[in-house]
Structure 1
């Protein structure tokens, strides 16, 4: 990937853009530029038929070879256009507001990724909705495929604040009961709770006929534990604190985080759930690629 494309996908660059819609477009621009030099080029160009251009379509989708032959505007109709309904499911827990280096918080990272995915889905004429949760589901924006839905979803995302205690498992069970039709459910969470109830709840969602992508988002510092000397650790939800010797604690901590992630990865794989471990220093293209792979397989 070229350095020019790379910059669009780096969280430390994206954080300097204030508006969420521009952040999302910035990410998408870098992603599709990068795809032209990658094995995923086909996702953006494969199509099975054409349809007439209508106002609101992306002009970049116009097939100029067809125009040259017919003097009419046609756009490429992508293979993946099968009206897959998607839900962006956001964790509002207080722990999502954490950032060690004051770059993007876990929540900021999740919001940017969700906004970019929203653009992708609407671009493919897929209905997409938004669900937020803390100890239970807080808000639900019904899925739509109209281009106005981008503004609707981004408006809600831009005004969200992570502050709640969380019950991930109960919220997912509640969501499973709400969804009446087979959907692609994309969950954004740091999952800093006991894994077993969450995994059981996701199995229930999966058994309900839904496809699930679990974006497990941690801060870079939560993965590598770069602290030195005596440090005070605080639980953002309970406010409980503990003082540890970081140097003595680091190896055990990193082992535990790796075990924690591996447990989710194993259980998700066995249940047919796509597990995507991310941290706030990672470029956004990995998550978007996971979505497109899933999207193509479902299409």
Structure 2
């Protein structure tokens, strides 16, 4: 088995200048190292039975129920919605610093692009906010493969500067992405801790 961690080594990542290719390199290499399929997509779950009516698809007749009750019932299903994931990427001035092959800003952009690529590969919807004290750029949730280009462009155009107002960012994120989903915060957390916890409590209250 390949060691999937080798695809996360800074020296290897740094050699790939294009962020979109870097994301593909990490995700494809990591998944191949784990020997797991990256495709999950939508799933269908059983919800309930209802009595058979003429014209119903016979494929959904529950023959086990018929054997017990001598009546025809069909299964009804509901479709799980795919994951909605919003990436919140800190591009404030403190992210410019770091030791080694990549600074914190480059790490953050690489993580965000890799997660975006993974979500889109799984046909999930992903969006992105590049922020410092305000939103530099807000990319809406989309599930099309070419949406990665929009996210990468937003990240690459973000020159680290200014401070971070994380409470305001988290509050605005709940308005930019009002539907229930997952939010991933990528930051060095050089922020006001009270504001951070207020923002996290707000996210929790919104579900």
Q: Give the direction of change, closer, same or farther, for the CA distance of 1:163–1:82 in structure 2 (3 Å limit).
A: same
Tell me by how many angstroms 1:139 deviates: 1.7
CA RMSD of aligned residues (A): 2.3
Q: Structure 1 residues 46, 189: CA separation in 2 closer, same or farther (over 3 Å shift)?
A: closer
Gaps of 5+ in 2: 44-79
Deviation for aligned residue 1:100: 2.5
Shift of 1:177: 3.4
Q: Say how many residue pairs are matched.
A: 172
After TM superposition, the score normalised by the length of structure 2 is: 0.75
In structure 1, the residue matched to 2:2 is 2
Instruction: Tell me the equivalent position of 1:120.
Output: 118
1:203 positional shift: 1.4
1:135 paired residue among 126, 133, 136: 133
Residue 146 of structure 2 corresponds to 148
Paired residues of 2:42 and 2:82 also in contact (CA < 8 A): no
> SS state of the match for residue 165, structure 1?
coil
Note the residue ranges of structure 1 that are not aligned, 5 or more in a row.
Answer: 50-80, 210-299
Aligned residue for 2:195? 197
Q: Does the aligned pair in 1 maintain the 2:39–2:121 contact within 8 Å?
A: no
Question: What residue number does 1:260 align with?
Answer: none
Q: Structure 1: how far apart are the matches of 2:158 and 2:145?
A: 21
| Rounded Cα–Cα distance in structure 2 between residues aligned with 1:154 and 1:116 | 10
Structure 1 counterpart SS, 2:38 = helix
Matched residues in 2 for 1:97 and 1:47: separation? 36
Give, in whole Å, the separation in 1 of the partners of 2:28 and 2:125: 21
Q: 2 CA distance for matches of 1:159 and 1:136?
A: 15
Q: Partner residue of 2:104?
A: 106
How far apart in 2 are the matches of 1:45 and 1:131?
25
Cα distance in 2 between the residues matched to 1:48 and 1:95: 39
1:135-180 per-position Cα deviation (integer Å, ceiling 9, x unaligned): 1222211111111101111122222211122111221122223332
TM-score (norm 1): 0.53
Deviation track 1:206-238 (CA, whole Å, cap 9, x = no partner) reads 2101xxxxxxxxxxxxxxxxxxxxxxxxxxxxx
Contact 1:137 1:175 (C-alpha < 8 Å) held by counterparts: no
Residues 88, 128 of structure 2: 8 Å contact kept:
yes
Offset from partner CA, 1:90-138 (integer Å, 9 cap, x none): 112100010133x111111111111111111111111111112211222
SS of 1:182's equivalent in the other structure is coil
2:33 and 2:26 map into 1 onto residues whose CA distance is: 11
Q: Which residue is 1:175 aligned to?
A: 173
Partner Cα separation in structure 1 for residue 111 and residue 96 of structure 2? 15
> Residues 237-256 of structure 1: matches in 2 within 5 Å?
none
